[in-house]
Chains A and B, each alone.
Chain A
Amino acid sequence: MHIPDGFINGGVSAGAAVVAAGGLGATLKRAGQVLDERRVPLAGLAAAFIFAVQMLNFPVASGTSGHLLGGALAAILLGPSVGAVCVSVVLLVQALLFADGGLSALGLNILNMALITAFAGYLAFVGLRRVLPARPGSVVVASGVAAGLSVVLSSVAFAAQYAIGGAGGASVGTVFGAMVGVHVLIGIGEGIITGLVVGAVLASRPDLVFGARDLDLVVGARDLDQGPAAAPAAVRAEVRS
Chain B
Amino acid sequence: MRRPVRFAVFLVAGLALAAALAFFVSPQASGEPDGLNRVAIDADFADAESDHALARTPTAGYGVEGVDDERLSTGLAGVIGVAITFAVAGGLMLVVRRAGGRSTTGGRSPGDAGHSAVPG
- Residues of A bordering B, CB below 8 Å: 1-7, 28-49, 51-53, 55-61, 63-67, 75, 79-82, 85-86, 89-90, 92-100, 102-103, 119, 122-123, 126, 155, 158, 166-171, 174-175, 178-179, 182-183, 185-186, 203-208, 210, 213-214, 217, 219-221, 224-225, 227-233
Contacts and interface: CB of A to CB of B under 8 A. Distances in A.
A167 to B, nearest CB: 4
Given A48-B86, A82-B93, A178-B43, A103 B32 contact: no
Contact of A40 (B4, B22, B46, B90): B90
Interface string B19-32: 10110011001111
Contacts of B87: 44
A183 B96 CA distance: 34
A210 B93 CA distance: 16
Given A57-B31, A203-B2, A97 B84 contact: yes
18 contacts: A4-B52, A6-B48, A33-B100, A33-B102, A34-B111, A36-B112, A45-B18, A55-B21, A85-B89, A89-B85, A89-B92, A90-B85, A93-B81, A103-B52, A126-B117, A168-B40, A168-B47, A232-B107
Contacts of B2: 203-204
Contacts, number: 300
Interface residues of B, number: 85
B33 A64 contact: yes
Nearest to A75: B119
Contact of B107 (A38, A55, A168, A175): A38
B56 to A, nearest CB: 8
A34 B109 CA distance: 9
A49 B80 CA distance: 13
Contact of B19 (A52, A97, A219): A52
A65 B28 CA distance: 13
Q: For B50, B89, B100, B102, which residue has the most chain A Cβ atoms within 10 angstroms? A: B89
A233 B112 CA distance: 14
A205 B4 contact: yes
B36 A224 contact: no
Given A178-B42, A179-B39, 15 more contacts: A4-B49, A7-B40, A36-B109, A55-B29, A64-B33, A89-B88, A93-B85, A93-B88, A98-B61, A122-B119, A170-B45, A204-B2, A206-B1, A219-B4, A229-B107
Nearest to A229: B107
Nearest to A232: B107
Interface string B57-68: 101111000000
